[in-house]
Structure 1
């Protein structure tokens, strides 16, 4: 369900606006859940609670300063991954209330040119909420299409993951053993787990670098799993190492 991100300095009326939204949408039969900023857990807890509520059939309102554009971007990505519309409501005060603590960091005003800050609505002081426009953005707009960064990755079978881990470990073991045994740059290293293919290194390679390349290969392969590739995993990993080690 839709996500409304409130944004503004302390004392700008965000909590009042959240309650106005709850009352207005609730009167039309839409359940509204307000996720408020608290002390425990900080932004991480706030984001986690918003993400948890996005899976339910209720409008989610994040009542917090949300002063950092990086955090507003994280909330935008959460809405996009959930496949739900999103909007930003900037609350501005006529004058700051005395005794209010400033936000933890510098306040970065929202900018409608940023995709994570739009559609952007603004209210100041006692101005009424732009309810028709908010309603249209939240309840009548199609959800944003997911992209590679937010699309849930397909689940891999246990057999695929086990084979991927085992084969890449065996390849690394063979390469490290050959180097310890005196293999020189330019010499072909036999790798049984590589499906009959070997590896020619142009230079010595440390265990740390090989482990890093293994992690990268595993991460990439998990994003494009296919049981048809099981017999070729060793050869694919050798090709990846050959391209990566220059």
Structure 2
């Protein structure tokens, strides 16, 4: 059964809309399926630990039988990508509900607006800003229950040479980024400073990592393997997406190295 990911700034009404979804889907099922609500506060809000706990709880509950609603800001597109990969791995549809309004907070990352052209942000629905207006439930139901699940993980099928070459380049790119991070630390870059990642394959405006603490090669290598495992679920996207995936790797590190 599907995964519903809520996205929005603090104060945008995500929790109210999540409960509205839970009640509507529970009533429609007549007890035939459970509807789980995974909230960020319940998973340990704040910091990389909170997002890691949220992801782990969603992964534990995801199945072909039940519905999982993730009630969290999900401001980073890299984290929305992770959740999409979880649903793909389980073989169940997913959708994104954007709650407009609210306001940024200094303890939260800025909102990277969803883009329906990205597979991890599609299908994308927007909740009405007026809380008295109902959600587009018929459209959400159709996207979740009348749409085929994503195809099996590519790792279970023969891969084209283009996909293998692309994954090899992504592997080399992330290796170079990890090496650049370690070299910067050896050269005296410390917490609170931004490490530029001007490595080949990241384009003319490479992203930078805000180093919040000293990190070891073992920790960076573990996070790199995790990121690559998600990327391998979507091989064959083409070399033109390497800079974007490189930026997503930096965001993934930023969200897990707090």
* TM-score under structure 2 length normalisation: 0.54
2:73 pairs with 1:37:
no
2:153 pairs with 1:147:
yes
Task: Work out the CA distance in 1 between the residues paired with 2:23 and 2:89.
Answer: 27
**Offset at residue 58 of structure 1 (A):** 1.6
Identify the residue that residue 131 of structure 1 maps to in structure 2: 137
Aligned residue pair count: 147
CA contact (8 A) 1:67 1:103 kept: no
Identify the residue that residue 58 of structure 1 maps to in structure 2: 66
Please show how residues 73-152 of structure 1 align to structure 2 within 5 Å.
73-93=81-101, 96=102, 101-102=105-106, 104-125=108-129, 126=131, 127-148=133-154
CA contact (8 A) 1:90 1:123 kept: yes
2:30 pairs with 1:27:
no
CA contact (8 A) 2:84 2:120 kept: yes
Task: Work out the CA distance in 2 between the residues paired with 1:44 and 1:145.
Answer: 26
CA contact (8 A) 1:7 1:66 kept: yes
* TM-score under structure 1 length normalisation: 0.56
Q: Structure 1: state its 5+ residue gaps.
A: 153-246
Highest CA radius of gyration, 1 or 2? 1
**Offset at residue 105 of structure 1 (A):** 1.3
Task: Work out the CA distance in 1 between the residues paired with 2:106 and 2:93.
Answer: 30
Q: Structure 2: state its 5+ residue gaps.
A: 158-258
Please show how residues 150-189 of structure 1 align to structure 2 within 5 Å.
none
* Bigger relative CO (Cα 8 Å, ≥ 6 apart): 2
Over aligned residue pairs, what C-alpha RMSD do you find? Answer: 1.9
User: Aligned in 2, Cα 1:103/1:79: closer, same or farther, shift over 3 Å?
Assistant: farther
CA contact (8 A) 1:85 1:144 kept: yes
Task: Work out the CA distance in 2 between the residues paired with 1:57 and 1:84.
Answer: 9
**Offset at residue 57 of structure 1 (A):** 2.5
